Amino acid sequence: MSLLPTVCIIGAGPSGIAVCKALKDKGIPFECYEAGSEVGGNWKFKNDNKMSSIYKSLHTNTHKDKMQYKDYPMPNSYAAYPDHQKISEYFINYVNHFGFRDHIFLKLQ
């Protein structure tokens, strides 16, 4: 049993999952609540939380080297300016790679 309080993170978008990873690395208990049915926040195309403005042909306007987490580089197979599907895939893979999906609760507001 931890003597530390459990931290509540609202949203499993890029910032929310970065906070999850940082807390996991420090051994601080946390729970993350996401309104949609998958991680990725606004990068989730047709997100059922009805808050994403992603459109079918969207690509980033920022180079992947500036968008990636330093401890989890985007694959070399990704274009320099990835489309929304690759960005969404990247966030899902990040969560799964570092093993904290069980701390993320989906479809909750």
Domains and CATH numbers, the chain: 7-105 (3.50.50.60)
Torsion of CA 52, 63, 69, 87, to 10 degrees: 40
Phi, psi dihedral angles at 23 (to 5 degrees) = -65, -40
How does pLDDT run across 33-72, given as a tens digit for each residue? 999 999 998 888 887 877 778 888 999 999 999 999 999 9
Handedness of CA 64, 74, 102, 1 (dihedral sign): negative
The reported pLDDT for the residue numbered 1 is 59
Cα-based distances in Å from 29 to 18, 59, 101, 109: 14, 35, 13, 20
> Under a CB-based contact definition with an 8 Å cutoff, are residues 81 and 60 in contact?
yes
Lowest mean pLDDT segment, chosen from 15-24, 46-55, 65-74, 75-84: 46-55
Residue 19 one-letter amino acid: V
